[in-house]
């Protein structure tokens, strides 16, 4: 008889998706086991050493607002922090930090080790066990079965991975870690097809071999803003480590051009699809031939190591070409390579076979998250892990699933894009993907999402009360500033002139006055004697909401239209063959994707507005036949 252990949820993989999933499940009270090929690789950062960045910083904030761990962990382990785009509008401000990779991993492992209900197990999961298309357990390489009600696959880039450096191919996972192989047959056996994606990473060098005097120093911010709403800002004002900027040149590009036939991608050895937005230096040189130089950032991998990361020069060229090409870059003339740049190919799924809850449509209780879903990036992985964990827990606990809308969160955009769109390469989050980004700012993630974290149980009453109180104070202050009017009295005019502003022609409200570019909330303090001291997090929101009111209002109107379609739900049992006058292409798409709302259906490529109209009519008929009244969408 087989040996088995009873648990409730199995999380396969302990990268950034896996740890968030496992923590969410165990924190919601479910007995959880997290499997990893090697406990030393928990929350490992095998590629770049940053957390955050444009739009990714938003994801980290959102993860934190919902009760995830990434923000807290990076606040404890960062070595440099920068708010990007500060010269731009508040919607695109984005935090980016350099992590101490080893510390990040170690600290996250400690969080897992101290988490109640959570067991860490070093093992390779070989098989997903199902009965009647429902997950009942997983089998590990020793034969032991862990019985569970839900499994979350977060295998990242490990599944059937191979790494390529020129003609050299090694069958390993990232950074020389052992790859996993067993799961492929099992997944195919339960009807989950796999596909192959590719990504790459640059070389790591011994920092002592570089000449930093030939590069431009890049310091962190003087005042650091933490990622997590739970972190005391005083705790993150630490001594930071600089990065350095240098550039490639025509010599670099010539070496690449002369050896392009030795690149496994251009030689046709690599078949997986790589990301366009994270191109190798070969790709940049070939596709953007007119550029005479490309940026190269030298970034430390941690305080306790000499290793540095050569950002901007990922490659899969043979070792000798790499050596020559890196040495053409100013400051890298004598560089000593610790780890080669390499490309990695791995198995993943097409996330189109998932529901918006990240559960597979065809296997009950099987959830998927992270790079296994065809995304790229630590933050994208963590966000999915958190959502998959929450939804797996909700399923077992009988709670309502948590699906965030595109108009509510970058996480909503991320998952909707992965599940709905035709993604043919690793998916990276970008601000341009968020249609309603003026509302989805990194500064208001708590106001947008704390309520959901509270609802599912990852946010405490106290944390929730705090955000409700904050919201109340913001509204009250905006109302007050709009109601108080300032007349054209002489002392007011003098005050304005003293603040480099022009005279008032007629009386206006404090709010209107604040909108003058040269003024602001702080600048008009002298005209506002009744003002009570408010926390900075409140005044910041007041300022943004008043200053950008017109834009915010226009964006909210766009969201209203969008939400109408999102709130029209499509029943799971609908038979599209029964829907007359749908065009063939649309019918196939709808059958394949099984969208949950009219809004989601309208985003499928190949589904036209006419098809949507047909579908709306059919849905009414469908419900009428079943004696139901129209299902009204929930208020978001």
Partner 1 sequence: MALQYDHLQTDTIAAIATAMSEAGIGIIRISGPDAAAIGSKLYRTPQKNKTDISLWRPGTIRFGYIVEADQDGKENVIDEVMLSWMKSPHSYTTEDTVEINTHGGMFLMNRILALVLQAGARMAEPGEFTKRAFLGGRIDLARAEAVMDLISSRNEFARKTSAAQLQGAVSSKVKELREKILYEIAFIESALDDPENYTLEGYTNRLMGTCEYLEKEMHTLLSHADEGRILREGIRTAIVGRPNVGKSSLLNHLAGEERAIVTEIEGTTRDTLSETVRVGGVLLHLTDTAGIRQTEDKVEQIGVHRAQQALDRAELILFVIDSSRKLTVEDEEIAERIIENLREDKKCILLMNKTDLSPEVSQEQVEELFTKRGSECPPLLFCSLQTGEGTKELGEFVSELFHTGEIAEKNEIFLVNLRHQDAVKEALDSILLVKDSIENGMSEDFFSIDLMNAYRVLGTILGEAVEDDLVEEIFSKFCLGK
List contacts with partner 1 (CB under 8 A): 48, 53-55, 84-85, 87-89, 91-92, 276-279, 284, 287-288, 291, 294-295, 297, 311-312, 421, 430-433, 435, 437-438, 517, 548, 551, 554-555, 558, 560, 564, 567-568, 580-581, 603, 605, 608-610, 613-614, 616-617, 620-621, 624, 629-630, 632-633
Distance from C-alpha of 64 to C-alpha of 79, rounded to nearest angstrom: 20
- Specify the residue, 238 or 624, whose C-beta has the smaller distance to partner 1: 624
- Specify the residue, 362 or 620, whose C-beta has the smaller distance to partner 1: 620
| 540: three-class secondary structure by DSSP | helix
CB of 97 to partner 1, least distance (A): 14
Residues 333/211, Cβ–Cβ less than 8 Å: yes
Tokens of 582: 């749908």
- Specify the residue, 67 or 599, whose C-beta has the smaller distance to partner 1: 599
CB of 326 to partner 1, least distance (A): 17
Kind and range of the H or E element at 485?
Answer: strand 485-486
Distance from C-alpha of 472 to C-alpha of 417, rounded to nearest angstrom: 33
- Specify the residue, 435 or 443, whose C-beta has the smaller distance to partner 1: 435
CB of 279 to partner 1, least distance (A): 7
- Specify the residue, 492 or 558, whose C-beta has the smaller distance to partner 1: 558
CB of 404 to partner 1, least distance (A): 17
Residues 347/194, Cβ–Cβ less than 8 Å: yes
CB of 48 to partner 1, least distance (A): 8
Helix, strand, coil tally for the chain in percent (to 5) = 40, 20, 40
CB of 333 to partner 1, least distance (A): 22
- Specify the residue, 446 or 611, whose C-beta has the smaller distance to partner 1: 611
Residues 172/161, Cβ–Cβ less than 8 Å: yes
- Specify the residue, 519 or 538, whose C-beta has the smaller distance to partner 1: 519
Angle at alpha carbon of residue 44, lines to 38 and 45, rounded to 5°: 150
Determine how β-strand 204-206 pairs with β-strand 307-311: antiparallel
461-483 vs 536-547: helix crossing angle, rounded to 10: 50
CB of 88 to partner 1, least distance (A): 4
- Specify the residue, 332 or 388, whose C-beta has the smaller distance to partner 1: 332
- Specify the residue, 37 or 47, whose C-beta has the smaller distance to partner 1: 47
Q: What is the DSSP string of 143-170?
A: S-EEE-SEEEE--TT-BT-EEEETTEEE
CB of 296 to partner 1, least distance (A): 9
Count CB neighbours of 113 within 10 A: 12
Count CB neighbours of 573 within 10 A: 7
CB of 421 to partner 1, least distance (A): 7
CB of 258 to partner 1, least distance (A): 21
Closest CA to 324 of 230, 259, 400: 259
Q: What is the DSSP string of 64-118?
A: HHHT-SHHHHHHHHEEEEEEETTTS-GGG-EEEEEE-HHHHHHHHHHHHHT-TTE
- Specify the residue, 171 or 518, whose C-beta has the smaller distance to partner 1: 518
Residue with tokens 């050493």: 49
């Amino acid at each position: 008889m087989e040996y088995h252990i009873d648990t409730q949820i199995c999380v396969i993989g302990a990268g950034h998706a896996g740890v968030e999933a496992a923590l969410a499940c165990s924190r919601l009270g479910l007995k959880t086991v997290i499997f990893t090929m090697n406990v030393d690789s928990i929350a490992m950062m095998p590629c770049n050493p940053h957390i955050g960045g444009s739009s990714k910083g938003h994801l980290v904030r959102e993860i934190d607002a919902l009760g995830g761990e990434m923000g807290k962990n990076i606040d404890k382990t960062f070595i440099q922090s920068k708010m990007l785009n500060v010269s731009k509008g508040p919607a695109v401000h984005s935090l980016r930090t350099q992590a101490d990779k080893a510390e990040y991993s170690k600290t996250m492992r400690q969080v897992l080790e101290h988490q109640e209900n959570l067991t860490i197990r070093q093992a390779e999961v070989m098989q997903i066990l199902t009965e009647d298309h429902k997950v009942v357990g997983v089998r590990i390489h020793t034969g032991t079965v862990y019985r569970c009600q839900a499994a979350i696959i977060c295998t990242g880039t490990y599944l059937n991975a191979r790494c390529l450096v020129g003609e050299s191919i090694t069958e390993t996972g990232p950074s020389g870690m052992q790859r996993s192989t067993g799961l492929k047959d099992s997944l195919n056996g339960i009807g989950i097809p796999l596909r192959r994606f590719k990504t790459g990473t640059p070389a790591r060098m011994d920092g002592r071999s570089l000449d930093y005097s030939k590069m431009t120093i890049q310091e962190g911010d003087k005042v650091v803003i933490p990622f997590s709403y739970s972190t005391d800002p005083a705790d993150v004002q630490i001594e930071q480590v600089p990065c350095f900027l240098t550039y490639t040149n025509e010599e670099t590009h010539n070496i690449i051009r002369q050896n392009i036939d030795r690149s496994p991608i251009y030689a046709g050895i690599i078949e997986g699809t790589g990301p366009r937005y994270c191109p190798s230096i070969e790709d940049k040189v070939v596709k953007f031939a007119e550029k005479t130089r490309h940026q190269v950032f030298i970034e430390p991998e941690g305080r306790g190591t000499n290793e540095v990361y050569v950002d901007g020069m990922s490659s899969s060229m043979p070792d000798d070409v790499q050596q020559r090409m890196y040495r053409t870059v100013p400051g890298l003339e004598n560089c000593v390579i610790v780890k080669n740049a390499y490309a990695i190919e791995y198995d993943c799924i097409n996330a189109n076979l998932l529901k918006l809850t990240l559960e597979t449509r065809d296997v009950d209780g099987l959830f998927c998250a992270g790079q296994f879903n065809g995304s790229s990036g630590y933050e994208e992985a963590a966000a999915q892990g958190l959502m998959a964990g929450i939804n797996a827990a909700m399923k077992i606990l009988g709670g309502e699933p948590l699906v965030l809308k595109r108009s509510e969160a970058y996480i909503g955009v991320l998952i909707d894009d992965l599940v709905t769109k035709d993604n043919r390469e690793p998916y990276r989050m970008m601000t341009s993907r968020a249609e309603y980004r003026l509302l989805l700012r990194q500064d208001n993630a708590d106001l947008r999402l704390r309520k959901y974290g509270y609802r599912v149980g990852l946010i405490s009453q106290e944390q929730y009360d705090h955000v409700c109180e904050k919201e109340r104070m913001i509204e009250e202050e905006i109302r007050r500033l709009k109601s108080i009017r300032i007349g054209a009295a002489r002392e007011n005019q003098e005050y304005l002139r003293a603040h480099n502003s022009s005279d008032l022609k007629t009386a206006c409200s404090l709010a209107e006055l604040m909108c003058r570019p040269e003024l602001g909330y702080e600048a008009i303090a002298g005209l506002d004697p009744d003002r009570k001291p408010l926390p900075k997090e409140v005044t910041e929101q007041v300022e943004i909401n008043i200053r950008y009111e017109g834009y915010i209002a226009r964006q909210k109107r766009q969201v209203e239209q969008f939400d109408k379609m999102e709130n029209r739900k499509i029943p799971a049992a609908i038979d599209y063959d029964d829907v007359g006058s749908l065009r063939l292409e649309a019918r196939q798409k709808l059958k394949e994707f099984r969208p949950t709302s009219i809004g989601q259906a309208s985003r499928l490529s190949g589904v036209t507005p006419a098809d949507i109209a047909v579908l709306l009519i059919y849905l009414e008929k469908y419900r009428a036949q079943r004696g139901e009244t129209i299902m009204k969408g929930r208020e978001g």
